[in-house]
Structure 1
């Protein structure tokens, strides 16, 4: 029998999706499963975006330009320039989701064996994307005790070698919800300029900042244009995860031209998705104000309830819609599987994501889980009650 590639064997399973078979089996057994494992919002997609799809009128479902349609890139530039990015449509490459933006950026800027520094915990698929290109992830630990703030720059410098080519951040962060401050980004800017590194910025959750906090992008910093690559998606912003529409933004013309070659190799992003995305840019501010108010209520409900549980600890995140909580358990992977396989409370259970999959450091996150507050407050309260009852009887309680 032919062998699987070594790259395939190294490819990590998603901590967000790997327990799906157990959730499916629990549902088949008649259990109600509350999904706090995945960032699939229950917020309605903007009406204008849906209407654009319903009113599509074309006779040929054709290819689009590899970099995306000019009309969509013009609308995107309009959106980003309202945020102070000072870009043109020629700085944007439209991609099939944020995932493709990340893979194209990695393939454009790093060779096999090159290293990229990422504060952890980080979005689990960064490991998978890096594995595809033979790129080495050098993790740098952040800690729950200070809300997963950016580690000291001195810790970054300890990891830099001649193979280091980039630093990768996500703000607001998935999985922690931490929102980097302008001061932290300025510090990252200085180290990237000092060692001539790229700064990748995953901004999937830009719209979701709470308590009056301000979002800062590396695009807002002076003197670092050639180093910055922004990676974005409509998935979370417009509750349109199934659209698979994202983009890569850079003012570095060599990076853009090289990334375009990878975009050409996969032909083009979808036409229908870009029509919807173009309409989405006109979504009124009132939509985001209502969404932020809803997520703030959910966050507060979850944080307050978790910290009242015996042995549980979490901090209140400044953005996104995730929380990493420390639980009194022996092993997060075992606990999350046990919830689905062996536990029920009033014929209900809850699906969480073990935080181990969001770390690259061996043994980190063993007693932590990620919870996505993507359920309405009533369902969230029920899920929290289920979790509290589960922790009382879990055999591996620590």
Structure 2
């Protein structure tokens, strides 16, 4: 039999999806599962986006420009300008999800063997994207105790080598929900300028900032035009995960010209999804106000419930819709599997994402899980009670 590539063997499984076979078996056994493992909102997609697909009069589903519809890029630039980001349509390439934007970014700014510094825990697929690009992830560990705030700049600086090409952050954070302050972005900006690096910011959760806090984008940072690369997506903003539309944004013309070659190689982003995404830009602010209020209530319901479980600790998020919880277990992945295979409470169980896969450092986060509060509050309360009962039984084994 021919050999599988070393790259393929090194490609990590997703901690978000790796337990799906256990969930499928649990479903076959008749269990009802509350899915807390994946950031799939149950918020309704804006009707204007659904209607744009339903009511279009296309006779040919043709390719678009490799950078995406010109009309969409113009309107998207207008959206950014309304939130005080100085972005023009030529600074934007539409991609097949934020994932492709990250792949384009890594392909454009790194070579095999180069390094990217990332605060951990981080979005698990960064490991996969880095493996695809032949890039080494160099982690700098954020601390549970301070809510996963930006590690000290000195910790970043001592990791920089002649192979370092970029620092990558997610703001607000997945899986932590941490929202970086303007001061923290300014500190990172000064660092990447000092060492002539790129600062790549995954900002797909930009709308989801709580407690009156404001999101500060790398694209708003003065003097960073040649260093800043922003990743964005419609998936979370408009509850359109299945549309698979994102974008790569930068003022650096060399980066955009290079990324465009990757865009041309994959031809174009999907037509119907661009139609929906362009229409979604007409969504009124009232939609976001209601969604943010709902997520704050869900967050508070979840955090209050988790903190009431003996031995459970949780880092309270200020953005996105995730939190990291520490459980009174030594192996959270084993516990998560057990909850699906061997446990139910009144015929119900939960699925969580073991947090170990959100770290690059081995044997880190073993007792942590990521929980997505994307379910309505009544179901979150039920899920917390199932977790409580499950922990009691698991610890008594």
Normalised by the size of structure 2, how large is the TM-score? 0.99
Q: Deviations over 1:287-333 (max 9, x none)?
A: 00000010000000001111111011112210000010001001011
Structure 1 contact 331–396 (Cα < 8 Å) conserved: no
Give 1:224's aligned residue: 224
Per-residue deviation, residues 207-252 of structure 1 (Å, max 9, x unmatched): 0011101100011111011100000110000000000000000000
Answer yes or no: is the 8 Å Cα contact 1:330–1:396 preserved in 2. no
- Alignment map for 1:241-260 (pairs within 5 Å): 241-260=241-260
What is the DSSP-based 3-state SS (H/G/I as helix, E as strand, rest coil) of the residue aligned with 2:319?
A: coil
CA shift for structure 1 position 395: 4.1
1:140 maps to 140
| 1:151 is the counterpart of 2:151 | yes
Find the counterpart in structure 2 of residue 179 from structure 1: 179
Aligned to 1:234: 234
For 1:89, the equivalent position in structure 2 comes to 89
Residue matched to 1:377:
377
- Residues 249-304 of structure 1 show CA distances to partners (whole Å, capped at 9, x for unaligned) of 00000100000000000000111111111111110000000000100000000011
Please state whether the residue corresponding to 1:159 is helix, strand or coil: coil
CA shift for structure 1 position 43: 0.2
Contact residue 355 and residue 369 of structure 2 kept, 8 A: yes
What RMSD, in angstroms, separates the aligned Cα atoms of the two structures?
0.8
Once residues 389 and 250 of structure 1 are traced to their aligned partners in structure 2, the CA distance between those partners, rounded to angstroms, is 49
Q: 8 Å contact 1:67–1:93 — kept in the other structure?
A: yes
For the pair 1:289 / 2:305, whether they are aligned, the reply is no
Residue of structure 2 in register with 1:102 after alignment: 102
Q: Secondary structure at the match of 2:314?
A: coil
Aligned to 1:39: 39
- What stretches of structure 1 move > 6 A for 4+ residues in a row? none
Trace 1:54-203 onto structure 2 (pairs within 5 A).
Answer: 54-203=54-203
Aligned to 1:367: 367
Query: Is contact 2:97-2:247 (8 Å) kept?
Result: yes
What residue is the counterpart of 2:330 in the other structure? 330
> Residue deviations 1:126-150, cap 9 Å, x none?
0000000110000010011000000
* TM-score for both structures, normalised by structure 1: 0.99
1:20-39: CA deviations, max 9, x gaps?
Answer: 01001101101110000000
For structure 1, list consecutive stretches of 5 or more residues without a partner in the other structure.
none
CA distance in 1, matches of 2:195, 2:373: 38
CA distance in 2 between partners of 1:206 and 1:152 (Å): 23
Matched residue pairs, number?
397
- 1:329 touches 1:396 (CA, 8 Å); kept in 2? no
Q: How does 1:318-357 map to 2 (within 5 A)?
A: 318-357=318-357
Aligned to 2:14: 14
Q: Matches of 1:140 and 1:249 in 2, distance apart?
A: 25
Distance 2:158 2:302 in 1: 37
Q: What is the alpha-carbon distance in structure 1 between the residues aligned to residue 42 and residue 360 of structure 2?
A: 30
Asked if the contact 2:109/2:255 (under 8 Å) is kept, the reply is: yes
Residues 176 and 315, structure 2, Cα contact 8 Å, conserved in 1 = no
Question: Aligned partners of 2:51 and 2:313: how far apart in 1?
Answer: 43
Equivalent position of 2:316 in the other structure: 316
Report the secondary structure of 2:156's partner residue.
Answer: helix
For residues 150 and 363 of structure 1, the distance between their equivalents in structure 2, rounded to whole angstroms, comes to 21
Post-superposition shift, 1:58?
1.2
Take 2:59 and 2:159, find their aligned partners in 1: how far apart are those partners? 55
